[in-house]
Structure 1
């Protein structure tokens, strides 16, 4: 009888093979794949070219980086626990939904941070973004077969986005205080 670790590695090797085969046959160069590629690149082009404030670039990139870590961690965790899944992938690797985790979500919430001067306006922007992601984008992606939920509700996503956004703004304001910078809103 193989050790537990050997058995896990055998299953992981089979999973890797099947995942790559599915990706190559069903995802690679398909219409959803091109959409995912565009969703990975275009938000960065738009943000860098028109939305970014050059004097705040290091601060905003820190915010984007932190959001990316949060999004990737939550996505890997949720997919691992089979709370949700992604039938279509840009790449046959983890994180499963690279465009959302490294582009759309971080840049959207960074814009909310960037363009709001008070907690009140920030919370309104975050509520609108969170509702859009949870109740419009998630159902659209489910409809088009690019996202599936199992033991999950859109309201959980809404609450998760809002909580993460509150913690993010609080952390950024604390970072301003520690760095001796003038915060946007205390």
Structure 2
């Protein structure tokens, strides 16, 4: 059974690579993904707090890892899919997981450190992503909702941001309480 699964995975990978190489790479969709990703990373670089640059980048990487894990779960179980990829060998470098969600969570964390302000700002950002951003990505065929909804997207982004804040605050607290 394991060998059959591996053979099927190899066939799927070969088909995906062929599709990406023949129809996706350098297509208008591919360029949109590249440009949006670059713009969001540039936005983070321009707005990052220079006094806390290392810690804020840590928040970004925590956001990136958690968004990637959630995405792996969702794509594995067929909840959503991406018809177009920036890089074929990993789905973590799609626009949503690589730039939009991690950058917005990171910037909200940076600008709103108190929980009450963070929560208000993050609810607004999550609603914008879930009810405006996701529908736009669906409309432009960058994202497909298979067994998923805009409401679920909103709740997932909201939960992700709160988990990132909890983890980041715990690391920051540990860093400040550590005695040398």
How far apart are residue 46 of structure 1 and its match?
Answer: 2.3
Q: Aligned with 1:180: secondary structure?
A: helix
| Match in the other structure for 1:33 | 30
2:21 to 6, 20, 24: 24
CA RMSD of aligned residues (A): 1.4
Q: What is the TM-score normalised by the length of structure 1?
A: 0.90
1:3-18 aligned at under 5 Å gives the runs: 4-18=1-15
2:99 to 86, 93, 103: 103
- Cα distance in 2, alignment partners of residues 91 and 31 from structure 1: 15
Number of paired residues? 177
1:1-186 aligned at under 5 Å gives the runs: 4-48=1-45, 50-95=46-91, 97-180=93-176
Listed one character per residue, the Cα deviations across residues 35-93 of structure 1 (whole Å, up to 9, x for unaligned) are 11112222222221x20111101110110000000111111110110000001111212
How far apart are residue 24 of structure 1 and its match?
Answer: 1.3
Listed one character per residue, the Cα deviations across residues 5-28 of structure 1 (whole Å, up to 9, x for unaligned) are 110111011101110111112211
Worse overlay, 88-97 or 12-21: 88-97
Q: Unaligned 5+ residue runs, structure 2?
A: none
- Cα distance in 1, alignment partners of residues 26 and 157 from structure 2: 31
How far apart are residue 97 of structure 1 and its match?
Answer: 4.9
Q: What is the TM-score normalised by the length of structure 2?
A: 0.92
Q: Unaligned 5+ residue runs, structure 1?
A: 182-186
